[in-house]
Amino acid sequence: MSRENIIFFRNFLLRTLLISIVFTIFFAVMTLALWDTFAPWVSSLFHLEEGELGEAVLDFFVHIRIVLVFFMLAPALALHWMAKGK
């Protein structure tokens, strides 16, 4: 793989990571801001209690973190390391 391709994919993954972090922060802020409004509605729609809904939301953010760290940040750092080595 050429150095230009390594740098391209590294930049692509890092920019994707930054955009994903912005979306995650947006989702977290909107979840906190609108929890009292939409929690009863979503709970009745999906037949969940509020505690179960909280667990589902927490599980969602845990999965986002795993995807961001292991599928985007780790390969981007590996590509960065490869680009520096050449």
Check if the beta carbon of residue 1 is closer than 8 Å to that of residue 63: no
- Give residue 15's Cα distance to chain centre: 13
- First vs last C-alpha separation in the chain: 11
- Express as a percent the part of the chain with pLDDT over 90: 81
The predicted structure's pLDDT at residue 82: 87
The predicted structure's pLDDT at residue 85: 75
pLDDT at 86 over 70: no
Residue with tokens 């589902």: 56
* pLDDT tens-digit map of 20-67: 999 999 999 999 999 999 999 998 999 999 899 999 999 999 999 999
- The one-letter code for the residue type at 48 is L
Q: Tell me the C-alpha distance between 18 and 66, whole Å.
A: 15
